Each structure stands twice: as C-alpha cells, then as structure tokens.
C-alpha cells in the first residue's frame, strides 16, 4: 500500500472519530460506512486524500473529506487537520425511526 493511502479503520482512529481502532473496524464491518458514495464493509480498504467518507456518529450523519492520511494519533487539533467536515454546521440529525 503506498504511503499516501491508509486503512479506513486506522484513519478513523487517527482522526479521532473513534476511541479505539477496534470500534472503527466494527462500524465499518457492520456496513455503516460509505466511501465516495459506495458502501464498504472492509476495514482494510485503503483511502487517501480527496476521498469522502459518510457515516453515522452519535446520532448525526458525518460527511468527511480526507485532507491527509496522517502518521500518528495526535492531539485533537492535529487530528482536525486530517479532514474537512462537509456536513451542515450541526450535522444532520438522524431520527430513531430511520434505518441504517
């Protein structure tokens, strides 16, 4: 895998969307993630700069564009530099009646 690509589960963990890489992997394996609009269930799928990820987190649909792959799980300000949030300012709330 080239240096400009990274596993989805590792990137989500480094960007601090999930507390552990295992939790990120579980979410992907359950099929709750889209990469550039395509559903994926493989935590090992490579993503890189420019890819758009869509997933639910804490009842909100997140739409994220990857700006950088990163090299470590750093502090929150460093993690925020890895992505651009494309969703509306408060996110899109998901009602309890909507399916996954």
What are the tens digits of pLDDT across the range 4-40? 899 999 999 999 999 999 999 999 999 999 999 999 9
Backbone angles phi, psi at 24, to 5 degrees: -65, -45
Q: 88 in helix, strand or coil?
A: coil
* Domain assignment present for 48: yes
Residues 44-72 have a mean pLDDT of: 95
> Side-chain half-sphere of 59: how many Cα atoms within 13 Å?
5
Quote the pLDDT of residue 8.
Answer: 98
* Domain assignment present for 38: yes
* Domain assignment present for 47: yes
* Domain assignment present for 27: yes
Structural domains in the chain (count): 1
Does residue 84 carry a pLDDT above 60? yes
Q: Report the CATH number at residue 83.
A: 3.10.290.10
- Which domain range does residue 18 map to? 5-91
Better-predicted residue by pLDDT, 58 or 77:
77
Residues 61-84 have a mean pLDDT of: 95
Answer for the pair 8, 26: CB distance below 8 angstroms, yes or no. no
Residues paired with residue 7 on neighbouring β-strands, in sequence order: 46
Q: How far apart are CA 39 and CA 35, in angstroms?
A: 6
Answer for the pair 60, 92: CB distance below 8 angstroms, yes or no. yes
* Domain assignment present for 97: no
């Amino acid at each position: 895998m080239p240096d400009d690509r990274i596993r989805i589960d590792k990137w989500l963990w480094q960007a601090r969307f999930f507390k552990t890489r295992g939790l990120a992997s579980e979410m992907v394996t359950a099929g709750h993630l889209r990469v550039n609009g395509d559903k994926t269930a493989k935590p090992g799928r490579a993503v890189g700069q420019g890819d758009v990820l869509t997933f639910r987190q804490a009842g909100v649909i997140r739409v994220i564009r990857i700006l950088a792959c990163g090299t470590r799980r750093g502090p929150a300000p460093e993690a925020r530099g890895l992505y651009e949030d494309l969703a509306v300012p408060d996110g899109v709330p998901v009602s309890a009646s909507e399916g996954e």
